[in-house]
Chain A
Amino acid sequence: MTRLARRALPVVVAVLAVVSATVLAACGGGGSSSSSTSGGSTSASTSQAKNGGTVNLIGGVAPDSLDPGFGYTTQAAEPDWLSYTGLVTYAHQSGTPGTQLIPGLATALPQVSADGKTYTATLRKGLKFSNGTPVKASDFAYTVERALRIPWGGSGQFIAGNIVGAKAYAAKKATKISGITTDDATGKITIHLTAPYGAFLNVLAFPSLGLVPSGTPMKNLPNNPPPGVGPYEIKNIVPNQSYEAVRTPGWGTGAMNIPGIPAGHVDVKVKISSNVDANALSVVNNTNDVYDWADTIPGSLLPQINSQAKNRYQKKVMNSTYYIFFNTQEKPFNNQLAREAVVTGLNQNAMSRLSSGSLIPGCYFLPPGMVGHPTTPCPYGDPAKGGDIAKAKQLVQQSGMKGQPVTVWSQQRAPRQQWMTYYTSFLNQIGFKAKQKLIADASYFPTIGNLKLHPQTGFADWNQDFPNPIDFYLLVQSSSILPTNNENFGEVKDSQIDSQSKKLGEVPTSKLNTIANQWQSLDEYVAKKAYVGVFGYQTFPALISTRMSPNYVFHPLYGWDFSSFSLK
């Protein structure tokens, strides 16, 4: 028996290898590999995925709201993307292919006029909301109006700033948005822009512009979000504790079969618990199935993860920039030398260690995966080599800002608090008198976004809304400075940034490669002026249980694609 087994083993392995190769070749090469899309580093064919069951996802932070008309955090966009499809959406694929725009509820990608100011789309026929109500073209206009009135966090920049009449509607000076016309009979939707905006198709793909029925209350409905159109419905919300993303019955059949938007295999229960250590351990130990990619895995757990769950853990890169904002209108950072001192002396290796080694060092505002990310050396030294403290001290001395009091604003969650604790200590080391101000996570950005406070410096980050550099440059345009919900925390006012980014922002996302060098020049200029203190680009953890199939899609914009989840 033993001998036979030993002799037979190579033969069995060879036969299995041939059979496997044949099957894989058939799956990979055929056009019928999957009804869904797949791809990216970890995704594979999902045609053989098992249907049924519930996946438990555990996260450290609750969504700001699951109502698409309000939700703007990554935790909200992740489920909303699958429950509220817009006229346009993104391919359900991992990596760069996932940034490709595909038609959503529109029959095709909207047609853009020659002057870049008019977008025309036609709604698919026979669509229904999750409550059974037929979808009408006028629902699109209502959805945009609702996002403006609630208002959704990006509405000022992306809607009011672009669509004709949207500003007047937002200010309640009009009863309709004059720049949107719809025809329910034909399903035709026409959108007029005030000026060409190259990323407008990406704007249409925001979950916040995912259609909701006309007549939905014009207020944030976080606990009972409105019906939508998509492969999932959000149900059973327990505020700050849990919610469920349940597969929409009938999705993928008849009129609800939208190419590129697959039906899910499992329902997903999302649970919220602020203890990220316990969350990670629960996935390692298979109590839960998926770890929220937006949370950091504590370094102290990495040895255990590497021994117990190495094949279930990956680091994922998304276009995000982690930076320190400097208030360019207030002392001491209204002085360029003071800003240069920080950028020169900040030790990015130290900051990376504080986040379990999850930061990729860099100095440019545009992240490496974004078109326009410069390839030239950083103007104030190689960030991978650690900071130059002596030079930083010298620059502070030269700036005349030595001894200036500085308040460092910080979130409480790890590692952001630890980053800012290090930064505070660093500022004191180079000659400022710094102290740290901790703000609860949920209220941090609204607090520092209150212009009256004029926060001097502190933590900020940005994950791409869409793959276009203009999405990042909205954070440093003077037109973005707002009395509340201000995103230009540093109150940067630079005419070169304003004019250049506006001009480049008119180029459609699909033609970005033609102006990549101009974006690079602008980004080099921003780094040279030290308007922001970039301290790295985050990698995100993808950790799953042994119950989960590893053939999932990790979307470059929204992270976990629930519709790709399946159980073994």
Chain B
Amino acid sequence: MATSSAPGTDLSTELSDALLGEAVELPPGLGPWQLAWRRLRRNKVALFFGGLFLLILLLCLLAPVYAKHIAHIGPADENITGTVKVGGKAKDVVSTTGIPVGPTWHSRYFLGADENGRDVAVRLLYGGRTSLEIGFVATAITIFFGLLVGVLAGYFRGVTDGIITRVLDVIWAFPAVLLGVALGVSLALGGIGPLHGNTLMVPAVVVGLVYIPYVGKPVRGQVLGLREREFIDAARQQGLSHARIMFSEILPNLGSTIVVFVPLILANAILLEAGLSYLGAGVQPPNPSWGTMIADGIRTIPAAFHNVLVPGIMLVLAVMSINVFGDGLRDALDPRSKVRIAR
């Protein structure tokens, strides 16, 4: 396959080969999705991390509730000259020399403040929403366009394939972060239509575009195999149009591939967004994201390490949980693991 030796990707392409083996034996009465679910249920580690990710997602979705009813402060609300009670004593949220208060373990400033006097816990949850939102939108963009170009290239082959593959090669040739920074900065400054300034769509589109080859090329390889199968020949014999063959016959057969790609791309998208935001080319202040929080916290490391540690831990937990769950999902959807199920 074209992708098997491609440099720079961390997305497994073994899956595509495995999924081609449609003719594998299945226990009677069980469909492939039911079988996959049975496999996944037995993978306790994957389920645990899947649950952890859902918990993070839920907490982030509840950010407005936490901000309004518990912390009583918004994510961009600054309180530089205010005070907060710590151990019964009033303490400056930000000291006169600029050092923010650490975790109070109370409802306000539970995880401390940043150097602008904003509540780190509130920003952490809102930042998670931002990071996850960008991750999901970027993943949707990547999957949509990756599928589109992959199916077109693999199905039509020839000139179409040549053009699409070369374009994907060009994108692939750039280091993802470098390409992201270049696109992010130029879009934030110049902009195209709604993609300008500090809208969240800028990092979402940038991250989404960067990863298209990582999906497009494996899909193309898989479609190259599928288009030679008997059921496609049968569809052609029935006189179905190219569009119908691609979207009614080939696309459904890519379902399990897509399911496996989603967590992998999501994890990578969240990481890239954090990297770009850290470098100032992603989410623009005052919007919080885990990447911008780490960047903001760098200045206060010697006196307020929590400002870097807290978003860093959340980032690691979120990405690790998605990755481990994604691995479990891939194992579950991989027919070669049938032996374990049959036992």
Interfacial residues, chain A to chain B (CB-CB below 8 A): 277, 298-304, 347, 349-350, 352-357, 386, 407, 412, 414-415, 417-418, 421-422, 424-426, 428, 435-439
Q: Are A353 and B98 in contact (CB under 8 A)?
A: yes
Q: Are B81 and A355 in contact (CB under 8 A)?
A: no
Given contacts A418-B116, A436-B285, contact A353 B301 (CB under 8 A): no
| Chain A residues, CB < 8 A from B302 | 277, 298, 300-301, 304
| Chain B residues, CB < 8 A from A301 | 302-303
Q: Are A422 and B116 in contact (CB under 8 A)?
A: yes
Q: Are A350 and B76 in contact (CB under 8 A)?
A: no
Given contacts A299-B303, A438-B285, contact A418 B115 (CB under 8 A): yes
Against A, the Cβ 8 Å flags (1 = close, 0 = not) of B66-78 are 0000000000111
Q: Are B95 and A353 in contact (CB under 8 A)?
A: yes
User: B95, B96, B98, B299 — which one has the most chain A CB atoms within 10 A of its CB?
Assistant: B98
Query: Out of A347, A407, A428, A437, which one reaches B76, CB within 8 Å?
Result: A428
| Chain B residues, CB < 8 A from A357 | 96-98
| Chain B residues, CB < 8 A from A435 | 197-198
Counting CB contacts under 8 A, is B286 at the interface?
yes
Interfacial residues, chain B to chain A (CB-CB below 8 A): 76-78, 80-81, 94-99, 115-117, 188-189, 197-198, 280, 284-286, 298-304
| Chain B residues, CB < 8 A from A421 | 78, 116, 285-286
Q: Are B284 and A438 in contact (CB under 8 A)?
A: yes
Given contacts A299-B95, A353-B80, contact A414 B299 (CB under 8 A): yes
Q: Are A350 and B81 in contact (CB under 8 A)?
A: yes
Given contacts A356-B98, A425-B116, 12 further A-B contacts (CB under 8 A): A298-B98, A298-B299, A298-B302, A299-B99, A299-B115, A301-B302, A301-B303, A421-B285, A422-B78, A435-B198, A436-B284, A438-B188
User: B94, B115, B188, B303 — which one has the most chain A CB atoms within 10 A of its CB?
Assistant: B115
| Chain B residues, CB < 8 A from A428 | 76
Given contacts A349-B81, A353-B96, A421-B286, contact A298 B116 (CB under 8 A): no
Q: Provide the bound-state CA to CA distance between A355 and B98, in Å.
A: 7
Q: Are A303 and B96 in contact (CB under 8 A)?
A: no
Shortest Cβ distance from residue A167 to the other chain B in the assembled complex, whole angstroms: 34
Q: Provide the bound-state CA to CA distance between A350 and B96, in Å.
A: 8
Query: Out of A300, A355, A437, which one reaches B303, CB within 8 Å?
Result: A300
A-B contact pairs, 29 of them (CB 8 A): A277-B298, A298-B299, A299-B115, A299-B300, A300-B98, A300-B99, A300-B301, A300-B304, A302-B99, A303-B303, A349-B81, A350-B117, A353-B81, A353-B95, A353-B96, A353-B98, A354-B80, A354-B115, A357-B96, A357-B97, A386-B81, A407-B197, A417-B285, A421-B285, A422-B78, A425-B76, A425-B286, A435-B198, A438-B188
Shortest Cβ distance from residue B221 to the other chain A in the assembled complex, whole angstroms: 41
Query: Out of A299, A300, A354, which one reaches B116, CB within 8 Å?
Result: A354
| Chain A residues, CB < 8 A from B300 | 298-300
Q: Are B286 and A277 in contact (CB under 8 A)?
A: no
Shortest Cβ distance from residue A413 to the other chain B in the assembled complex, whole angstroms: 10
Shortest Cβ distance from residue B181 to the other chain A in the assembled complex, whole angstroms: 12
Q: Provide the bound-state CA to CA distance between A58 and B189, in Å.
A: 31
User: Of all chain A residues, which has the CB nearest B94?
Assistant: A353
| Chain B residues, CB < 8 A from A412 | 280
| Chain A residues, CB < 8 A from B115 | 299, 354, 418
User: Of all chain B residues, which has the CB nearest A298?
Assistant: B299
| Chain B residues, CB < 8 A from A352 | 96
Shortest Cβ distance from residue B212 to the other chain A in the assembled complex, whole angstroms: 27
User: Of all chain B residues, which has the CB nearest A306?
Assistant: B97
User: A356, A424, A439 — which one has the most chain B CB atoms within 10 A of its CB?
Assistant: A356
Q: Provide the bound-state CA to CA distance between A475 and B304, in Å.
A: 39
| Chain A residues, CB < 8 A from B98 | 298-300, 353-357, 415
User: Of all chain A residues, which has the CB nearest B298?
Assistant: A277
| Chain A residues, CB < 8 A from B298 | 277
Q: Are B286 and A356 in contact (CB under 8 A)?
A: no
Q: Are A347 and B284 in contact (CB under 8 A)?
A: no
Query: Out of B78, B188, B280, which one reaches A350, CB within 8 Å?
Result: B78
| Chain B residues, CB < 8 A from A347 | 80-81
Q: Are B198 and A422 in contact (CB under 8 A)?
A: no
Query: Out of A303, A350, A356, A417, which one reaches B80, CB within 8 Å?
Result: A350
Query: Out of A349, A353, A437, which one reaches B97, CB within 8 Å?
Result: A353
User: Of all chain B residues, which has the CB nearest A412?
Assistant: B280
| Chain B residues, CB < 8 A from A426 | 78
User: A353, A425, A437 — which one has the most chain B CB atoms within 10 A of its CB?
Assistant: A353
| Chain B residues, CB < 8 A from A436 | 198, 284-286
Shortest Cβ distance from residue A471 to the other chain B in the assembled complex, whole angstroms: 30
Query: Out of A298, A353, A354, A424, which one reaches B286, CB within 8 Å?
Result: A424
Q: Provide the bound-state CA to CA distance between A301 and B303, in Å.
A: 7
Q: Provide the bound-state CA to CA distance between A63 and B94, in Å.
A: 33
Q: Provide the bound-state CA to CA distance between A370 and B277, in Å.
A: 41
Q: Are A300 and B299 in contact (CB under 8 A)?
A: yes
Shortest Cβ distance from residue B168 to the other chain A in the assembled complex, whole angstroms: 31
Shortest Cβ distance from residue B40 to the other chain A in the assembled complex, whole angstroms: 44
User: Of all chain B residues, which has the CB nearest A350?
Assistant: B80
| Chain A residues, CB < 8 A from B284 | 436-438
Query: Out of B77, B95, B303, which one reaches A425, CB within 8 Å?
Result: B77
Q: Are A437 and B116 in contact (CB under 8 A)?
A: no
User: Of all chain A residues, which has the CB nearest B78?
Assistant: A425
Q: Provide the bound-state CA to CA distance between A439 and B298, in Å.
A: 19
| Chain A residues, CB < 8 A from B117 | 350
User: Of all chain A residues, which has the CB nearest B302?
Assistant: A300
Q: Provide the bound-state CA to CA distance between A355 and B197, in Å.
A: 26
| Chain B residues, CB < 8 A from A386 | 81
Shortest Cβ distance from residue B153 to the other chain A in the assembled complex, whole angstroms: 38
| Chain B residues, CB < 8 A from A303 | 99, 303
Q: Provide the bound-state CA to CA distance between A355 and B94, in Å.
A: 11
Shortest Cβ distance from residue B80 to the other chain A in the assembled complex, whole angstroms: 4
Nearest 4 interchain pairs by C-beta: A299-B98, A300-B303, A350-B80, A299-B97
Q: Provide the bound-state CA to CA distance between A418 and B285, in Å.
A: 10
| Chain A residues, CB < 8 A from B299 | 277, 298, 300, 414
Q: Provide the bound-state CA to CA distance between A363 and B261, in Å.
A: 58
User: B94, B99, B299 — which one has the most chain A CB atoms within 10 A of its CB?
Assistant: B299
Q: Provide the bound-state CA to CA distance between A355 and B80, in Å.
A: 12
Shortest Cβ distance from residue A3 to the other chain B in the assembled complex, whole angstroms: 47
Shortest Cβ distance from residue B313 to the other chain A in the assembled complex, whole angstroms: 20
Q: Are A277 and B301 in contact (CB under 8 A)?
A: yes
| Chain B residues, CB < 8 A from A349 | 80-81
| Chain B residues, CB < 8 A from A414 | 299
User: Of all chain A residues, which has the CB nearest B76?
Assistant: A425
Q: Provide the bound-state CA to CA distance between A428 and B303, in Å.
A: 29
User: Of all chain B residues, which has the CB nearest A417?
Assistant: B285
User: Of all chain B residues, which has the CB nearest A299?
Assistant: B98
Shortest Cβ distance from residue B182 to the other chain A in the assembled complex, whole angstroms: 13
